Amino acid sequence: MHLDLPLLLRITLYGSAALLACLVLRRALRGWLGATAAYAIWAAVPLAVLAAAIPGPPISAALPKMPAMVAMPLNLQSSEHAWAGQLLAVWLTGAVAMAVALWWRQHRFVRRLGVLHALDGEIWAATRDVGLPVSVGLWRPRIVLPMDFDTRYSAAERTLILAHERLHLRRGDLYANLLAALLLCIGWCNPLMHLAWRAFRLDQELACDAEVLTRYPGERRSYATAMLKTHGGAGWTPTACRWNAPHALTQRVAALLKPAVEMPRARWNLRVVVAMAVMLNGACWAFQPARLQGMRVPGNALDFRTMRPPRYPPDAVAAGLAGFVELQIAVSPTGTPEHIAIVRSTPAGVFDQTVLDAAPHWRFTPALEDGKAVASEVRVPVKFELDPPDTAPAVADIHPGTEAAARPHAADRSEPVARCAPAGCASRGGLQ
């Protein structure tokens, strides 16, 4: 298993910063711009995760195509990825466990509704009341009412409840809850994610209440009475929007005492908050470390096609030595090395022979002149390091125009071997 630690760390940092900002600003935004704007600020969280996951803007640079080889003992290569694989396994286990727990809670809630009877296209009645009314269903969104809906609530209360639930469906809150559940699974080990989950669901209900009361400004008492008439039923559900969510009742009733923001202003505030969230996350993405994008350099057409890395000398491993060897290789029109010479090496003589033993097995893509392969020369730097490099992709072959990497030789796995990391080298064009 491969774990991209820099990417996961960046996603965690960006997501946590967005969560913290939402948790801190939501109350102030609700008092200043209204409940709808406070709900809209939560769009910053998925935008932050997206900004962290997308690579930063590329910059072009003239990079030679050929790599420097980095030799290191195999035991260091193995230990480098062992703990990362264990960390990935723990994270995946937690994410899957959270997903299963959320699915089971939603599934149990739907089953407890019992048999549903259709009243019209989007309104259904349940045989059992487990905290109804509720908006539920991703593939077929519907409003589920208790069987005694007409007798328990007055006509005004029924109008308010249906307006509330229809607003959930029209705004797509069920899908917003699904996205929040997905982020909760991804960030199950982040305490801020669990705090934000409850705050997000509360802000969702408060925003819906505020918009309904803007349409029915004289019905605050009926709205509060309808909330208090609803049975508690089951606890929270991952994706459903319940009229009487147990953790939000007190705050929702208290919010009814505050003046509502007029609809045109509320919609304008919503657009402003979303635009600010998009711009801030766009700026964070733009200020990420630039991603280098290599350009072909004219006259540098040579590239590794396949190569077998040199072995790390056992004596050098025992002595804790690192070093560097630079080769100059004459390449035939068929891509095979014809002459191999050591330009320089540090420490002198320690790594020379192991590189000379490996180089004859390398194959190159030759330079072309007028569409024909010609003899060329290339310089290949080889680094011997005891500490793992930051980036060392492991692939079997190296193709022209790509970053280079090599898989350790399969034979005799107990001995130190080499692998490759992206870097540059110099080449010279066709020989006369």
Matching residue, tokens 């005492």: 257
Q: What b/e sequence results for 240-270 when a residue is b if at least 16 CB atoms lie within 10 Å of its CB, and e otherwise? A: bbbbbbeebeeebeebbeeebbeeeebeebb
Q: Check pLDDT > 60 for residue 138.
A: yes
| Angle (nearest 5°) at CA 180 between 267 and 31 | 40
State the chain's mean pLDDT as an integer: 78
d(CA 393, CA 124): 56
Average pLDDT over residues 225-253: 79
HEC sequence for 260-303 = CCCHHHHHHHHHHHHHHHHHHHHHHHHCCCCEEEEECCCCCCCE
Q: What is the pLDDT of residue 364?
A: 82
Average pLDDT over residues 321-329: 87
Q: Check pLDDT > 90 for residue 199.
A: yes
Q: Percent of the chain scored above 70 by pLDDT?
A: 75
Q: 368-371: list long-range contacts, CB under 8 Å, 24+ apart.
A: 368/301, 369/430
Q: Check pLDDT > 70 for residue 210.
A: yes
Cα–Cα distances in Å, from 1 out to 4, 82, 83, 87, 187? 10, 9, 11, 10, 19
Q: Check pLDDT > 80 for residue 228.
A: yes
d(CA 253, CA 230): 13
Q: How confident is the model at residue 99 (pLDDT cuts 50, 70, 90)?
A: very high
Torsion of CA 84, 89, 92, 97, to 10 degrees: -150
| CB-based contacts of 246, cutoff 8 Å, min separation 6 | 131, 232, 235, 236
Per-residue model confidence as pLDDT tens digits over 46-77: 999 998 888 766 655 443 344 445 444 545 44
Average pLDDT over residues 345-365: 87
Q: Which domains does the chain have, with CATH numbers?
A: 5-286 (no CATH), 296-430 (3.30.2420.10)
Q: How confident is the model at residue 247 (pLDDT cuts 50, 70, 90)?
A: low
Q: Is the omega angle on the peptide bond into residue 133 within 30 degrees of 0, that is, cis?
A: yes
**Would you report the helix, strand and coil content of the chain in percent, each value rounded to 5?**
45, 20, 35
Q: How confident is the model at residue 312 (pLDDT cuts 50, 70, 90)?
A: confident
Matching residue, tokens 């208090």: 228
Q: What is the pLDDT of residue 423?
A: 42
Average pLDDT over residues 248-274: 80
